[in-house]
Structure 1
Amino acid sequence: MNLNIVQDHSQLWKKIALFLISQNISLFGSSVVSFSIIWYITLQTSSGKWVMLFTICSLLPQVLISLWGGVWADRYNRKYLIMLADGFIALATLGLAIAFWAGYQRMELILAVSLIRSIGAGIQTPAASALYPQIVPMDKLTKVQGINQTLNSVLMLLSPAVGGIMLGSLGIFWAFMLDVISASLAIAVLSFIRIEKVVRSAEIAPVFTELRQGIDYVLNHKLLKRVLLCFGVSFFLITPAAVLTPLLVERSFGNDVWRLTAHEIVWTVGSMIGGVFISLQGDFKDKIRTVAICLVGFGVTFALLGIAANFSIYLLIMGIAGFFMPIMATAQTVLIQENVENAMMGRVFSLIQIVTGSSMPIAILFFGPLADIVSIGSILLVSGVLLAVVGVWYQMTNKRAGLN
């Protein structure tokens, strides 16, 4: 009997490990090619217009398709949906690589393929997020998400370096091919995992009916309504720190490349430490309070970034801010996974993706022009204070509602 338990436990962790490996291999290839494309466009055009168009083509389709992606994730086998999306992205990238190898190197082609890749990501992301509770026991979700956040941070540290080496030494063709190879490996690894389709109690309805059911489910769920609102407002207020801080470094401390590099590295290292902390912690008993503390932590650190006069102190604060990101992301994600029925998981995560995917572009349309009128430090100070207020509000309203 004990031997069977040990074997079952071993098989469970083997399945979890294979899934994490698969998704992080896919993420690595996608990150490398994204960095390579943005740098290639910058070097070839020196045009803000082309960078803006690439950003729109990379983000907007993902947001638009994710509603359908959520319905499909609840309707079909999520494993095969992830594999098909990865394959779809890989084929589009392979076509782009062949076109560049043949000498057809047009910016319009890069934009078209970026749009296709974004559609694939919009299908893959809700399915992957919804799949975790299917294969991971509830009491292990936080630990597994912590491991995943740590792996994500490591890859985000490596991706720019690998992208730069590929673009500078081998050319963008090989950056494209790295993504094709990594997607193929991710599909191959995922194929070894046996995952059943989610059993649904309700009959399959038309897509738009199921879309409405997903929206109604969230709006009638006391906790999910607050989580969705928290995601929207917090991502809006996080945008100045996420997007404008490189400009703050250049304006306040100098335009040396090493400063911008250090700025990115300390955030990622802080995130890695946060991910390791979650993995060791194992779980958070009160996830709402954990999220609230992280939001207040973000608010305080972002406000301090706005008034930091010394670059070393600035980097220290940035590293501390990075520490909070995986903790907040994990606590919020696991909170959703623990409180949503499996048959609705895909649609709920698609709505989360729409809110987070649209909040930051909307925010930058406001904060970008504002940064040319008032100081970025002032923007960070005000947005940081408001973010801390959101954290306090999130804790108080959920506590009054008897949620945790």
Structure 2
Amino acid sequence: MIQQKWKRSFFTIWAGQAISLITSAVLQMAIIWHLTDTTGSAMILSLATMVGFLPQAILGTIIGVLVDRWNRKLVMIGADIIVAAAGAVLAVIALIIELPVWCVMIVLFIRSIGMAFHTPALSAVTPLLVPEEQLTKCAGYSQSVQSMSYILSPAIGSYLYATWELNAIIAIDVLGALIASITVAIVPIPKQVTQSEDAKRNFFEEAREGYLIFKESKGLFALLWIGALYMFVFMPINALFPLMSMSYFGGTATHASIVEIVFAVGMLVGGLLLSVWGGFKNRALSIIFSILLMGIALFISGLLPKNGFLIFVLCSAIMGFTSPFYNGVQMALIQEKIQPEYLGRVFGLLGSLMSFAMPIGLIVSGIFADQIGIHTWFMLSGICIIGIALLCVFLPSVRNLVQ
């Protein structure tokens, strides 16, 4: 009976999250098409991408403190309502006038703030609902939902943008956000332990406490910085997939889309396998396996001749497949090892660090990839990621993180 209760609660919330995630991804694709059509500016598209993760990078640790102070259920509902309200305002403006770029940017920024609250709150709520031994499998479900949004959103977004008005697509996302808030509202979520008003310190002291809690576990602390290094190397590669498909292999936009879809399908398969199997008993082995396989696939991709596109597609599927065994397992480990009352700060810090690592990596790759060739950059990135996997093997704190 208890098992059925937690499953009902978890899957009710995640059904709403799945709908909201897909509708948000569809709207994101539609907005990208809108900005492409109306401006034709790569700078504007880059700025829109930057706006998407800037709040998490800058405000992540402070938001984490608030998530730990406040009722996380209300935080999630409030974040969904903010996202819905921002979308509704954009839809109304689109009915009246041609959407100005600055207006789109402001709404994207507000939506991003909402998601910066929602993401750590959801991650912190999960261990309050799910038995510890099921956290890794549930992380696999979460990764599967995310990969489904990657698969569906480009096709749905492109089709709807071609046939519907933008404000109609916005309305669908508003509906998705409202559904997500309703599913959270109807599920009873145990209240986390919070500090009394007298015990509360200023934001920076509490944010620092989240860092110190991370530091208490040498394995998790090492994984925090390994994750930042991993994002620094891999995220630029993720952005360079279309360039590899079209410039190096001489393909078209269709070839680039195939690679993106295959990557997402690989991620879906990996997430489903993780949700059923749960990964290796020693979760550190799952993480090392994931990073190593990613590095090998990247290295092989960089060595391929210009007629090796089909092998590149296979390598892309392998890269996608490995992703849940890193992201999902790392999340489950944090949820297991960190006390629930600190999880908001911990996930806020993690998100902030990863968000800072991504743009730095993009800048570095932008400088060097054009100079040495995109395929060479893939090969060197593969070597770096293999090195990260070996670093995990040689660090006892990571290797023996969980037996």
Which TM class, normalised by the smaller chain length?
over 0.9
After superposition, residues 256-275 of structure 1 pair within 5 angstroms as: 256-275=252-271
1:243 aligns with 2:243: no
State the AA in 1 paired with 2:325: I
Instruction: Give SS of 2:370's match.
Output: coil
**CA shift at 1:213, angstroms?**
1.4
The answer to whether structure 1 residue 87 and structure 2 residue 69 are counterparts is no
The CA deviation at 1:278 is 0.7
Q: Where does residue 327 of structure 1 map in the other structure? A: 325
Partner SS, residue 371 of structure 2: coil
What amino acid is aligned across from residue 338 of structure 2 in structure 1? V
Asked if the contact 2:285–2:399 (Cα under 8 Å) also holds between the matched residues in 1, the reply is no
TM-score of the pair, normalised by structure 2: 0.95
How far 1:283 moved relative to its partner? 4.6
Change in Cα spacing, 1:110 to 1:201, as seen in structure 2 (3 Å) is closer
- How many residues align? The count is 398
Residues 165-188 of structure 1: CA deviation (Å, up to 9, x unaligned)? 221100211121111010011111
Q: Report the AA paired with residue 353 of structure 2.
A: V
| Structure 1 Cα separation of the partners of residues 3 and 352 of structure 2 | 36
Task: Measure, in 2, the Cα distance between the counterparts of 1:335 and 1:125.
Answer: 17
Question: Aligned letter for 1:386?
Answer: C
Letter in 1 for 2:394: M
Q: Offset at 1:104?
A: 4.1
> What residue ranges of structure 1 are gaps of 5+ in the alignment?
1-6
Instruction: Compute the displacement of 1:204 (Å).
Output: 2.7
Q: How does 1:346-357 map to 2 (within 5 A)?
A: 346-357=344-355
355-364 vs 281-290, greater mean Cα deviation: 281-290
Within 2, Cα distance between the matches of 1:169 and 1:401? 52
CA shift, 1:255, in A, is 3.9
How far the C-alpha of 1:328 sits from its partner, in A, is 1.2
Cα separation, 2, equivalents of 1:320 and 1:207: 42
Shift of 1:305: 1.1
Encode CA deviations 1:309-346: one digit per residue, 9 max, x unaligned. 21111101111111100111111111111111111111
Give ranges in structure 2 of 5+ residues lacking alignment.
Answer: none
Whichever residue aligns with residue 155 of structure 1, its letter is S
Matches of 2:398 and 2:101 in 1, distance apart?
53
State the distance in 1 between where 2:294 and 2:384 align: 10
Question: In 2, Cα distance between the equivalents of 1:371 and 1:207?
Answer: 40
Residue number in structure 1 paired with 2:304? 308
Question: Cα distance 1:262–1:401, how it changes in 2: closer, same or farther (>3 A)?
Answer: closer
Asked if the contact 2:84/2:178 (under 8 Å) is kept, the reply is yes
SS of the aligned residue for 2:239 comes to helix
Q: Match of 1:278? A: 274
The one-letter code sitting in structure 1 at the alignment partner of 2:105 is: L
Deviates more, 1:162-171 or 1:211-220: 211-220
Distance 1:105 1:64 in 2: 27
Q: Secondary structure at the match of 1:285?
A: coil
Do the aligned partners of 2:27 and 2:157 also contact (CA within 8 Å) in 1?
yes
Deviation at 1:402, TM superposition (A): 4.4
The whole-number CA distance in structure 1 between the counterparts of 2:289 and 2:16 is 32
Moved more, 320-329 or 211-220: 211-220
Q: Partner amino acid for 1:390?
A: I
- Indicate the SS of the match to 1:372: helix
Q: How does 1:68-83 map to 2 (within 5 A)?
A: 68-83=62-77
Q: Is 1:130–2:128 an aligned residue pair?
A: no
Match of 1:209 in 2: 205
Aligned to 1:294: 290
SS at match of 1:191: helix
1:401: Cα distance to partner?
Answer: 7.6
% identical equivalent positions: 29
Matched ranges for 1:379-398 at <5 A: 379-398=377-396
CA distance in 1, matches of 2:175, 2:320: 30
The one-letter code matched in structure 1 to 2:250 is G
Q: Is the 8 A contact 1:61 1:118 kept in 2?
A: yes
In 1, the alpha carbon distance for the partners of 2:358 and 2:93 equals 33
Q: CA deviation at 1:65?
A: 2.0
Q: Distance in 2 between matches of 1:349 and 1:400?
A: 19
The Cα offsets for residues 334-375 of structure 1, whole Å up to 9 and x where unpaired, read as 111111111111111111101111111110011012222110
Q: Which amino acid aligns with 2:351?
A: Q
Residues 299 and 379 in structure 2, CA contact (< 8 A), matched pair in contact too:
yes
Shift of 1:219: 3.2
| Contact 2:223 2:398 (8 Å CA) reproduced | no
Deviation digits for residues 115-154 of structure 1, max 9, x if unmatched? 1111111111111111111100001111111122112211
The CA deviation at 1:11 is: 1.7
Report the Cα distance in structure 2 between the residues aligned to 1:237 and 1:60, rounded to whole angstroms.
19
Matches within 5 A, 1:185-224: 185-200=179-194, 203-224=199-220
Residue equivalent to 2:169? 175
In structure 1, what is the equivalent of residue 110 of structure 2? 116
The corresponding residue for 1:41 is 35
Q: Deviations over 1:235-289 (max 9, x none)?
A: 1111232011210111122242220111111101111110111122035311112
Contact 1:240 1:379 in 2 (8 A): no
Q: Classify the secondary structure of the residue corresponding to 2:21.
A: helix
- What is the SS of the residue equivalent to 1:200? coil
Range with bigger deviation, 317-326 or 145-154: 145-154
Q: Which of 313, 337, 340 is the equivalent residue of 2:338? A: 340
8 Å CA contact 1:73, 1:126 repeated in 2:
yes
| Alignment partner, residue 53 of structure 1 | 47
Distance 1:320 1:69, change over 3 A: same
Displacement of 1:196 in angstroms is: 2.7
Task: State the distance in 1 between where 2:346 and 2:300 align.
Answer: 35
**1:9 Cα shift?**
2.2
